[in-house]
A and B are shown apart, each in its own frame.
Chain A
Amino acid sequence: MNSRVLLVFTREAMTLFVSAVIGSLVVFGLLRLLGGDVALMILGQEAAPEAAIALREELGLNRPWHVQYLDWMGGFFTGNLGRSYAGGYDIFEQISDRLGPTTLLAFGSLIVSITIALAIGTYSALNARNARGTAVDVFAQLGIAVPSFWAGLLLVYLFAVYLGWLPAGGYVPMLEDPRASLVSLILPIAALSLGSTAVKTRFVRSAMLDVMNEDYIRTAMAKGRTFNAAVLLHGLRNVAIPVLTVSTLQLGSLMAGAIVIENVFVIPGLGRLLLVAVQGREVLVVQSLAFVILMIVLVMNFFMDLSYGLLDPRIADRKGKPTHG
């Protein structure tokens, strides 16, 4: 039992580490390959040569690339990522301050979408058949096609402007006022989860319909369960496995959505900071922020894969990486 957990943990931790290294190299490399001179990107192409030289000196941009890279990576451990050139703020401090709202938004949305998808998907599968299947399909297609920021605007209009029930934007920290914080998150989470919920619902439904035909459901019935009880008790956990896989695959787009949604609802998270930094061409801020956001995705991925391995006992007994799907 414990060795199984340990095995899964070690394997997923290795994956996380390798992915983090590749991801950081991509972010570091992209900025330099596409943008060229970092100092000129920050100052603008028409900057005085002396200013550029001074900035290069100040930010250590004269050093070889691998030294810059390692120094940057080390900064995450020492808490020193430098200062914003235009804003003057400490980058590390600013990132830690803004981690809360973003993770709350992303995690909240993940949990909301999985819960709703399991509920609607299971309900529609159990109370089959065709009519509700079509409804779920239409819901899924619309969910993909409606951009999250448009959904956000529509929700703001309906619930904030027209009905006046909820705030149109802004964010209250969880520790300050938990109730107000939750209220301020309702619309952003709703807008962000809409698309992924729709996709997952369709997925849950079809996975559930497959599971319902499994022999072990009949076995549970033979033990004395009703059909519905058999499906809920024995099917749900088996459905949870593919649903987790899909949720894992959606993490990237969920985070992407969070970046956009923060800008719709003016939530002071990483995405909002990132956009401001991009518009201000703050290369070093963008670089660190991008890596942190990437790490959030990878860490969530790590936990999902971990629970995936723990939910399905067959995974750990297999050699090598589990084959999803």
Chain B
Amino acid sequence: MLTIRDLRVSVGPLELVHIERLDIAQGRRVGLVGESGSGKSITAMSIAGLQPREARLAGSVRFEDRELVGLSDAAMAKVRGARIGFIPQDPTRALNPTTRVGPQVAEALRLNTDLGGAAIRARVLELFAQVRLPEPEVLYQRYPHQISGGQQQRVLIAMAIAARPQLLIADEPTTALDVTVQNEILRLILDLSRAQRMALLFVSHELGVVRAVCDDIGVIYGGRMVELASAGALAETPRHRYTAALIGANPGLPGGDEIAAMTGRRFAVIEGSVPAAGRFPAGCRFRNRCRHATAACAEDPPITPQGGNGWVKCWHPVGTEAGR
């Protein structure tokens, strides 16, 4: 349903993101994990045409047999909301502070459905109930600052699913929320995507969260996707050296202990820090922090298919003899 090939997002001469391939089938839930600034949010926004204004897209994003890259803002606007829903990162800033929340959701229905007048209002209340908001009637009349962050996110989720889109993009939907609320919101997103058979692209910096929600997980480092695998496989048998290090840095995860044992370190730590955009080494972008890097890594690594529809982009994946 969604097929990405060589999507490049750049600002001026600087290439922020280059995603060689990413497919999302109908009803499938795919996660994108990476560190701050890895480009995962930009990728998610670019798919919906919500990238920063100065950013330029190249390559191909096919969605429901349509090429999205190169569409005008007006054409893209018809896809957004109707076919692709978007849940933002910080609900406390994502609602218009001067408008009541009910009408803000109603706007999505007015734009993307044939409903009118009273039917819209009824549907908004229905959506509020669906996202488990208490007292929909009261909430309809509230201004954003009068409700909690968790409730704001529920309103935004209601907005995103209002027109029953085929694809829901969630960009770190729980990062700005209290820990106690995070799980409820995750549960809600998961339930909704299951119930409505919506495909989900879920972006997060927390591997554990992504694993709990998604079928497949893509790992992004330095604007490049380095590995794609099913959620189980990624945690059990990570292939990319970065993924392995990432799991090592998350010792609570299943598989993390094994990695620690393999590398001989209890708490694996990724050496060095992420370079600034545009400062990555040529070839494999991770090689200056990778303990397994060899001269070969100066060349761009190939994409090697793995089990299922997974792949890895590494010269010396975990389990092969190379380096030290």
- Spell out A's residues near B (CB within 8 Å): 212, 214-216, 218-229, 234, 237-238, 241, 311-314, 317
Q: B90 on the interface (CB 8 Å rule)?
A: yes
Nearest CB of A to B293, in Å: 38
Interfacial chain A residues near B112, Cβ < 8 Å = 223-224
Please determine whether B88 and A219 come into contact, CB atoms closer than 8 angstroms.
Answer: yes
Interfacial chain B residues near A229, Cβ < 8 Å = 77
Please determine whether B146 and A219 come into contact, CB atoms closer than 8 angstroms.
Answer: no
User: How far apart are the CA atoms of A313 and B100 in the complex, in Å?
Assistant: 9
Interface of A is mostly: helix
User: How far apart are the CA atoms of A221 and B85 in the complex, in Å?
Assistant: 11
Q: Could you tell me which residues of chain B, from 99 to 114, have a CB within 8 Å of some CB in chain A?
A: 99, 107-108, 111-112
Interfacial chain B residues near A314, Cβ < 8 Å = 97, 143, 145
A-B contacts, 22 listed (Cβ < 8 Å): A215-B90, A218-B50, A218-B94, A219-B86, A219-B94, A219-B95, A221-B49, A221-B80, A222-B48, A222-B50, A223-B81, A223-B108, A223-B111, A224-B82, A226-B76, A234-B96, A238-B96, A312-B98, A313-B97, A313-B143, A314-B143, A317-B146
A219 touching B159 in the complex, CB below 8 Å, given contacts A224-B82, A237-B98, A313-B145: yes
Interfacial chain B residues near A228, Cβ < 8 Å = 73
Nearest chain-A residue to B141 (Cβ)? A1
Nearest chain-A residue to B107 (Cβ)? A223
Q: B226 on the interface (CB 8 Å rule)?
A: no
Nearest chain-A residue to B91 (Cβ)? A215
Q: B265 on the interface (CB 8 Å rule)?
A: no
Nearest chain-B residue to A1 (Cβ)? B141
User: How far apart are the CA atoms of A214 and B97 in the complex, in Å?
Assistant: 11
Nearest chain-B residue to A217 (Cβ)? B96
A216 touching B111 in the complex, CB below 8 Å, given contacts A224-B82, A313-B145, A314-B145: no
Interfacial chain A residues near B76, Cβ < 8 Å = 226
Q: Could you tell me which residues of chain B, from 148 to 196, have a CB within 8 Å of some CB in chain A?
A: 156, 159-160, 163
Interfacial chain B residues near A237, Cβ < 8 Å = 96, 98-99
Q: B291 on the interface (CB 8 Å rule)?
A: no
User: How far apart are the CA atoms of A35 and B190 in the complex, in Å?
Assistant: 80
**Which of B77, B96, B156 contacts A221 (CB under 8 A)?**
B77
Residue of A215, A311, A317 with most partner-chain B CB within 10 A = A215
Residue of A212, A214, A220, A229 with most partner-chain B CB within 10 A = A220
Residue of A212, A218, A229, A237 with most partner-chain B CB within 10 A = A218
User: How far apart are the CA atoms of A218 and B160 in the complex, in Å?
Assistant: 12
Which 7 pairs from chain A and chain B are nearest by CB? A224-B81, A222-B86, A215-B93, A224-B111, A223-B108, A313-B143, A215-B94
User: How far apart are the CA atoms of A241 and B18 in the complex, in Å?
Assistant: 41
Interfacial chain A residues near B88, Cβ < 8 Å = 215, 218-219, 222
A223 touching B159 in the complex, CB below 8 Å, given contacts A214-B93, A218-B94, A313-B143: yes
